[in-house]
Chain A
Amino acid sequence: MNTSAILEALKKYDFSFFGICAAIFLMGVVNLYSATHASVSSHMANLYKVQIGWYLVSLLIGIVISFIQPKNFFRFSWLIYGVNIFLLVLVLILGHKGMGAQRWLVIGPIRLQPSEFMKMSSILVLARWYATSSPDKELGFKQLIVPFIIAFIPTLLIVVEPDLGTGLLILLIFFVISFYRKLKWKTIAILAIIGVISGGVMYQFGLKDYQKRRIITFLDPSADARGSGYNAIQSKIAIGSGKVIGKGFRKSSQASLNYLPENHTDFVFSIFNEEHGFVGSLFLITLFIVLFYRFIWLAQSVPRIYESIVIIGIMSIFFWHTFINMGMVTGLMPIVGLPLPLMSYGGSSLMTFGVCCGIATSISNSRNLF
């Protein structure tokens, strides 16, 4: 390949997804540094370096995936799904106990979290199903049965781990995809009713105590008798005290005095708000919205319905994480422990979003081949 060909390929290469994500990550890692720099533990103080390492690995994986032809995702979707389900079962059988939940699969030095990757695997199979079974018609209950089973199996396996947040996330993604695939309004209405009822039943019988506590805390933070309301209140103090322009970089008192536990994972957005205020958040949220716009725009400019659905699915992963995380730290939702994309500390999470961007870029690049 000569220079002009490389230039040609680069011209066709869609940098938008990696570009926007890099911008968000940059803000995230600066924020992470600020939240942890005062920590006495050297492990905590060096967390931002680890995060950069993970980011580079995820970026590399994403770029490699971006060069895979989209038809391969279609071809291997069932295989990927099957392997992932197998790994989930494996986790349940010999899973690694971390914080009271079996989520990890340890292979030598590598710790895998199959439930993270299940989000993407489910999207690939759901998209394939919807793209191949009369994609021109609206969806009713009948057409929903198989896709529901596809989404429900991993949800069940993840919920019993127990990781309620990630489990329900797959159902939410399933819902967005089905909605995009023209789910009838009547069906949506009936589903909503069923959802409310089954939610009530699950709350009564299916939830662990700490999960119930989180929901009660959310409904009335001051009613909490066991301390989880503490996080919610400290988070609100952090956000509120940032006012319009924030206290400034490295000036978060809530973080440096350790009032906010987990300020490097679930509560990064609180620290961000304390230091950069309403203006900072406005900027950050705008970046996220540009990213979502870009996804939805791409979904409407690809030639094949399969790819279109996959893009909507990926968008929904980003969206739910962002919305739920911001909702919970601002006190709009119960604290379910979902990370903020590209901002929260965590290798598995970064990896997921790297893979997402890789697939989106691959699909975007292939548009121009015709």
Chain B
Amino acid sequence: MFGEDDIVRSHKGRAVLIFNIVIACFIIILIRLWYLQIYKGDEFYKYSVQNRLRKETVKAPRGMIFSRNNQLLVQNVPRFDAIIVPQYLTNKKETLSKLAKILEMSEKSIYGILKKNSYQARYRPIIIKKNISRKEVAVIETENSKMPGVSVQTFISREYADKEIGSHALGYISEISQQQLPTYRERDNYNYKLGDFIGQAGIEKNFDLDLRGEDGYQFMEVDARGRMKRLIGGKNLFAGIENKAATPGNNIRLTIDRDMQKRAYDSLEDKVGAAVAVDVNTGEILAMVSRPSFDPTEFSRGLTAKYWKKLSQDEFKPMTDRTIQEHYSPGSTFKTFTAIAALEEKIVTATQEINCPPTFRLGRRVFHDWKRGGHGLTDVYKSLRRSVDVYFYKIGVKLDIDILSDYAKQFGFSSKTGVPLPREIPGLLPYKDWKLKKTGEPWQKGETLSCVIGQSYVLATPIQLAMAYATIANGGKLLQPYLLKEIFSSDGTIKKKFSPKVVNTVTVSDESLEHVKKGLYQVTNHRKGTAWWYRGRGIRMAGKSGTSQVRSMTKKELFSRCVDMPYKDRHHGIFVAFAPFDNPKVAVAAVVEHGCSGSGAAAPVVRNVIETYMKKYEPETYAKYAKEDKENARRIYLQEKKMKEEAARKLEESTEDDE
């Protein structure tokens, strides 16, 4: 039997063998090094000094974005920068004076730019002037040999045809940041590098992987100055190394109609607000704008400090997409859903008339109607047409808030609509439990009265309002709004097609919907309707106005003129409508922040957008309605004239009687 010591010693043979093998392995390495460094050293040295193979990334062209009618909304345009590589700047003085002349800038400013960038490695190009003209490019290219160190760099700029219009939905691209690098590498399993551009907002962000394509590379020999000598091929050390072409990104066709979008944006001129138009039968978003806005083209070139300052210091936050990232109290536009709940819960019948005095008292609290004189007897049609607050207060005392919220929820309130854009917010509907959990206090009956008219805890985004009214218009199908019709590759083959998706079919009887629709129709088409003056011509819209109180008001303030108040205290104006009434096609919601009145500020926006839709997509119906509306208007004018004359005559007669 061995002792442990002896066992170890018995392995000596193998130990020596292992050491010899180790030595042999490194002798092989040394022989190889000798071959590379001494035998072939001069050859490799020449390669390293004179001829350099450079691997250049070939950027994949990013996919383009089209409107629903195939108008190009987003494309890539090559732009040129004049650059200097300090390493090769041998004849500095002369070169710079020549360059200054070509670019029409002062020599001093060029020196300034060089100095500002002197901290970086000398082989890194410094941009002297961005976006130079073709003529300047040509001059620099021809004078190249006389100006060592100066050259032209091509840059692919992402350009947005309509600039600020609809830029929130389109989004923008910019360079990937140091912080994003690790998370995006992981998310996409793709080796992003600093300097890569990625979608940072909107469609550019959500469909980045579709739009991006795949970069390729090509090998080229460059001379000692870093200038390209020739593309690789032929017989040398690098023979056989092949380039890889870039795969262009996929294109996107949107559901957006460019004309409607433009009309919506123009209608919001000088206002802060948003508008959304959707196809009520499919959920396709036809227009989606938010003001103030920004120009995404600026981002793809690297923001200038000035533009960024302008964006970040604007108190109205131009980067916020008010259609999906901002919620408002829907105000009276929410009464529609209170009415539906009341009809369904049999609190009232449609034709039942309720007396509506100017105020409503609950305990010690007095609730005022917006109209100082009250409305008198009111049925459900009149309640919507005249937006009678007291009618809804009277419903409110009999309606449980949880039940109301459940009805509203069916129409999409308090849930994200699922629009394929980042950072959508869900809005809010109150529940008793929710309030108890949130504040620790039980629900107050008075709070229900605020909620039935769409104030206090009820919050909705403009896109939610549009979808909710579309649901009423199409007979009870809550759809998911979508922005993309299809994704197709650069050769035209369709990669992905998007189709309508029903989120929820509401459990509301058709009768209730019809009653409410009739009420909404009267808002714009009854002479006493709140939006009668904004009904337009040839569109037959049915809608509802609303004002969203920015803060609670005293009685005095309530009846003071909104426009006399400080801007920040003015109500938001909201209007939602669908059209045409007989066969609804389109629903539009508009919000004008601090616009005071829903009908006055927001209804014209909605009307304009619907008008553009009708003219473009339903020209025959539009023509027919327009003719009828014109005749109607004439008849009403004559009628009023007659009535006025009659009244004047009566007055005359009565004065005669008095005498």
Contact = CB atoms under 8 A, between A and B. Distances in A.
A222 B241 contact: yes
A230 B219 contact: yes
Size class of the A contact interface (CB-based, 8 Å): 35 or more
Contact of A305 (B7, B52, B241): B7
Contacts of A230: 53, 55, 219, 241
A302 to B, nearest CB: 6
Contacts of A176: 18
Contacts of B69: none
A277 B9 contact: no
B564 interface: no
A254 B52 CA distance: 9
A241 B18 contact: no
Nearest to B178: A43
Contacts of B361: none
A254 B48 contact: yes
Given A244-B37, A259-B52, A312-B18, A100 B189 contact: yes
Contact of B19 (A40, A293, A302): A293
The majority secondary structure among interface residues of chain B is: helix
A179 B37 contact: no
Contacts of B219: 230
Contacts, number: 168
Contacts of A100: 189
Nearest to A299: B15
A215 B6 CA distance: 44
A263 interface: no
B437 to A, nearest CB: 31
A359 to B, nearest CB: 17
Size class of the B contact interface (CB-based, 8 Å): 35 or more
Given A40-B120, A136-B2, A239 B191 contact: no
Interface string A271-309: 001100110011001001100110010011011110010
Contact of B41 (A241, A254, A257, A302): A241
Contacts of B26: 285, 288-289, 323
Nearest to A42: B178
A239 B52 contact: no
A296 B219 CA distance: 47
B179 to A, nearest CB: 12
A257 B52 contact: yes
Contacts of A179: 14, 18
A41 interface: yes
A241 B15 contact: no
A321 interface: no
A233 B238 contact: yes
Nearest to A43: B178
B4 to A, nearest CB: 5
B307 interface: no
A40 B15 contact: no
Contact of A300 (B15, B37, B185): B15
B11 A181 contact: yes
12 contacts: A96-B186, A97-B186, A233-B238, A237-B237, A238-B48, A240-B40, A240-B44, A240-B45, A241-B48, A256-B123, A282-B30, A285-B26
Interface of B: 1-2, 4-5, 7-12, 14-15, 18-19, 22-23, 25-26, 28-30, 32-34, 36-38, 40-45, 47-49, 52-55, 120-121, 123-124, 178, 185-186, 189, 191, 194, 217, 219, 237-242, 244
Given A182-B14, A256-B123, 9 more contacts: A180-B14, A238-B48, A240-B41, A244-B37, A257-B123, A281-B30, A305-B7, A330-B29, A330-B36
List the 8 closest A-B pairs by CB distance, nearest first: A240-B44, A222-B240, A241-B48, A243-B41, A240-B36, A241-B45, A278-B37, A241-B44
